[in-house]
């Protein structure tokens, strides 16, 4: 079964393997398969589910809501997000204005079929809305009982500090940040993680397998497998391109004997690696088939010894991205068109 971790400086626990439906629900797989995978996740002990209004332009929330319908609401945790353009994508259908946050939470609750979400997250930082307006809106969402906790995604260390200070003034707290993080993409380690530890904020990390590259299925000098994420624009193919070169793929193949020595598959090694960071509360995993989750959950509770961690670092040292400046490039400087 899956272990649990506290989210930030709160009493709220989440499953350290959390199911994310970014590229699967209402996009990569049919609804029946998506619902079966959610039910499999629950059977395996995954109780935390992450989505966003922007996934499949709101349709992913609908599928997740259908999958969770009729279940005991106290037995699962739902996370969703607000920021990116959705719906008809008009001038107020995006960003972190008070209007869009309230339109967003009301829409998400309706699509998910729940009275509240456990965690409501700012999907990016909005440079066009005063942070005071954003944080006041989140405070009111919490006070109205529509969300229990507030988090963010891909905020810089400075943004986390400013947001946490305002949240404290408004009598609530930021409990989480959701950044990309893997053994190949380590940019949060320099500034974001230290700031988060100081502020009582946890990371819920996405792409712990570097869009599948750390699974080892992409081989240097070989054609990309048909049907893989690297060939599917709906599955975030553009995100994976930075890793799709022979230097990276050759380095990743060096992890295979390390995983075998640890008694793990390569995907399990990748997920276990991010969970060794004490500031990480959960690793987001997706699945297009229920059996994929059976492999992923075996990473829960794994402790990698110092020798294994050093071997992974040495294998990936030439290709792992560690530049903290990358954290300043994620949120658009203006609202997306």
CATH of the domain at 299: 3.20.20.100
Is-contact 295 37, C-beta < 8 A? no
Q: Judge whether 248 lies within some domain.
A: no
pLDDT at 290: 85
Instruction: Look at the pTM and tell me if it is higher than 0.85.
Output: yes
The count of structural domains within the chain is 1
Of 183-192, 260-269, 283-292, the poorest mean pLDDT is in 283-292
Residue 187 lies in a domain: yes
| Residue 71 belongs to some domain of the structure | yes
Q: Where are the alpha helices (DSSP H) in the chain?
A: 31-43, 59-68, 98-112, 131-143, 157-169, 192-199, 237-240, 246-253, 255-262, 266-275, 290-296, 306-316
State the residue for tokens 């998400």: 108
- For residue 25, give its domain range: 4-215+274-304+323-328
More confident site: 337 or 170? 170
Catalytic positions, written as ranges: 55
Quote the CA–CA distance of 158 and 328 in Å, as a whole number. Answer: 10
pLDDT at 34: 85
Percent of the chain with pLDDT over 70: 93
Structural domain includes residue 265: no
d(Cα 156, Cα 199) in Å, to the nearest integer? 13
pLDDT digits (tens, 9 = 90+) for 24-81: 655 556 678 888 999 999 999 999 999 999 999 999 999 999 999 999 999 999 999 9
Taking the C-alpha atoms of residue 333 and residue 119, their distance in angstroms, rounded to an integer, is: 25
pLDDT digits (tens, 9 = 90+) for 275-309: 999 999 999 998 888 888 999 999 999 999 999 99
Is the pLDDT higher at 154 or at 230? 154
Distance of alpha carbon 119 from alpha carbon 116, whole angstroms:
9
State the Cα–Cα distance between residues 275 and 269, nearest whole angstrom. Answer: 10
255 in the Ramachandran plot: left (φ > 0), alpha (ψ -120 to 50) or beta? alpha
């Amino acid at each position: 079964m899956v272990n649990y971790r506290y989210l930030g400086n709160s009493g709220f626990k989440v499953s350290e393997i959390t199911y994310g439906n970014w590229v699967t629900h209402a996009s990569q797989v049919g609804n029946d398969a998506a619902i079966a995978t959610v039910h499999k996740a629950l059977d395996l002990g995954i109780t935390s589910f992450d989505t966003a209004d922007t996934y499949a332009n709101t349709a992913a929330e609908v599928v997740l809501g259908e999958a969770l319908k009729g279940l005991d609401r106290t037995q699962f945790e739902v996370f969703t997000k607000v920021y990116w353009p959705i719906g008809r994508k008009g001038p107020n259908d995006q960003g972190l204005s008070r209007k869009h946050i309230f339109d967003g939470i009301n829409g998400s609750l309706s699509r998910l079929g729940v009275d509240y979400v456990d965690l409501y997250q700012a999907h990016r930082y909005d440079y066009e809305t005063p942070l005071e307006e954003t944080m006041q809106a989140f405070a009111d969402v919490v006070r109205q009982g529509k969300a229990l906790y507030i988090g963010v995604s891909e905020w810089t260390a400075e943004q986390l500090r400013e947001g946490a200070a305002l949240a404290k003034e408004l009598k609530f707290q930021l409990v989480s940040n959701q950044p990309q993080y893997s053994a190949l993409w380590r940019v949060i380690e320099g500034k974001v993680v230290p700031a988060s530890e100081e502020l009582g904020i946890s990371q819920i990390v996405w792409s712990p397998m570097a869009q599948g590259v750390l699974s080892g299925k992409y081989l240097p000098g070989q054609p990309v497998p048909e049907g893989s994420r690297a060939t599917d624009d709906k599955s975030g193919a553009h995100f994976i391109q930075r890793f799709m070169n022979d230097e990276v793929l050759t380095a990743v193949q060096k992890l295979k004997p390390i995983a075998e020595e640890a008694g793990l598959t390569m995907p399990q090694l990748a997920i276990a690696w991010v969970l060794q960071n004490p500031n990480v509360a959960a690793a987001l995993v997706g699945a297009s088939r229920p059996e994929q989750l059976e492999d992923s959950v075996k990473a829960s509770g794994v402790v990698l010894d110092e020798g294994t961690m050093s071997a992974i670092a040495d294998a990936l040292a030439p290709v792992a991205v560690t530049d903290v400046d990358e954290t300043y490039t994620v949120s658009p400087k203006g609202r997306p068109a």
